[in-house]
Amino acid sequence: MIMSFNNHIIWKEYLKFGTRQFFKEKTVVYEQGTVGDGFYYVDKGVIKVNTSTIKGIDRMLNIVVSGQLLGIQTMDQQVHFTTAIAARDSILYYFPYESFKELISLSPALFMLFTKTVIHKMHILIEHIHLHTHSAAKQIALILLNICYEFKNYEIHLTQQDIVNCTGLTRITVYKILKEWKKENLIEIQNRKFLIKNPDLLRNYVINS
């Protein structure tokens, strides 16, 4: 995957160029159809990314966690094609386009990281556009794999409740799926995080289910 787990450390150096913003749970960060002029860095929290169909039905596309970027596809004053909502109380840093131009002039390497991230995010959106058509288990597996492979780290700082809030699945459904995966030694559940013990097996589960 494109971004390494030290992405959180890398971006810490540049937060002074952004504006710190706090979003309470269920607060909209940006809305589909509005014009973008910058991007967000998620310092703490969990953000779910949805899109609305022409029939007005919301579909979840992705979950963005601490250390990831948000809204980067439309920072050049294009229209957002997704809506971002805080799944729990979150702290984000907002970087307007003008600030980002100054930032990459100071650190050209950051531009390469940013470009790769944009490409990766677009792949995620394409892959997840039909996420709702999958079974509940496959939806959760895809989300967990996306996060752990992007960071090249198998510790995912999500809770079961985060998955419930983001996917719209019931708490019982999520609990049963994770309990079964734990029994199969695919995952381990620790305090406010998941440890993917066998990512290849989980990937095979997605392919074959």
In the structure, what pLDDT confidence band is assigned to residue 89 with cuts at 50, 70 and 90?
A: very high
Query: What CA–CA distance (Å, rounded) separates 87 from 164?
Result: 9
Of 48-57, 67-76, 136-145, 183-192, the poorest mean pLDDT is in: 48-57
Q: Tell me the fold of 134-208.
A: Arc Repressor Mutant, subunit A (1.10.10)
**Phi and psi for 107 in degrees, rounded to 5?**
-140, 85
CB count within 10 Å of CB 195 equals: 13
What's the mean pLDDT when you consider all of the chain?
79
The residue to which tokens 């995620």 are assigned: 124
CATH number for the segment(s) 7-131: 2.60.120.10
Domains 7-131 and 134-208 belong to one CATH topology: no
**What pLDDT sits at residue 128?**
58
Q: Which amino acid is at 21?
A: Q
The reported pTM is 0.72
Parse the chain into domains and list their residue ranges.
7-131, 134-208
